[in-house]
Amino acid sequence: MGAPAAAVISDSELIARYQAGDEDAAAELVRRHAEPLARFLAVQGAPDDELEDIVQDALFKAFRSLGRFRGGASFRTWLLTIGSNLLTDRRRQWKRRPMLELSPEVADPSADPASEAEALWAAERLAEGLTKLARLQREVFLLRAQQGLAYAEIGAALGISDGSARVHYHHAVKRLKGWMA
Amino acid sequence: MDGVNELPDYLTKALETLDARSARAAARVDAERVAGRVLARLRSEPVVAVAPRRTWTALRIAAVLAVFVTGGLFVRAVSDWGRPATVAALPVDVPESLSAQQATAVLDAVAASTDSAAWTATVVSVEDLNEAELRALLRAMQSDMEGSL
Each residue's pLDDT tens digit, B31-48: 999 999 999 999 998 666
ipTM here? 0.81
Tell whether B69 is covered by a domain.
Answer: yes
Measured N-to-C along each axis, helices B31-44 and A48-64 cross at an angle, to the nearest 10 degrees, of 40
For chain A, list residues with pLDDT below 50: 1-3
Contact A145 B6 (CB under 8 A): yes
Total domains, chain B: 3
Cβ–Cβ gap B26/A48 under 8 Å:
no
Nearest-CA distance from A5 to chain B in Å? Answer: 24
B92 found inside a domain: no
Angstrom distance (rounded) from CA B42 to CA A92 = 26
Classified by CATH at the fold level, domain A1-100 comes out as Rna Polymerase Sigma Factor; Chain: A (1.10.1740)
Model-level pTM?
0.63
Half-sphere exposure for A101 (CA within 13 Å, toward CB): 5
pLDDT digits (tens, 9 = 90+) for A96-149: 555 555 555 555 556 676 777 888 899 999 999 999 999 999 999 999 999 999
- Give the domain range for residue B55: 51-83
Domain spans, chain A = 1-100, 109-181
Domain A109-181 classified CATH 3.30.1370.100?
A: no
Residue B70 has pLDDT above 70, yes or no: yes
Under an 8 Å CB criterion, which residues of B touch A? 1-4, 6-8, 10-11, 13-15, 17-39, 41-42, 47
B84-141 tens-digit pLDDT = 555 555 555 555 666 777 777 777 876 776 565 445 545 556 677 788 888 887 888 7
What is the band of B6 on the pLDDT scale with cuts at 50, 70, 90?
confident
> What is the structure's pLDDT at A1?
45
Torsion of CA B31, B37, B39, B41, to 10 degrees: -150
Of B78, B92, B73, B86, nearest to B133 by C-alpha is B92
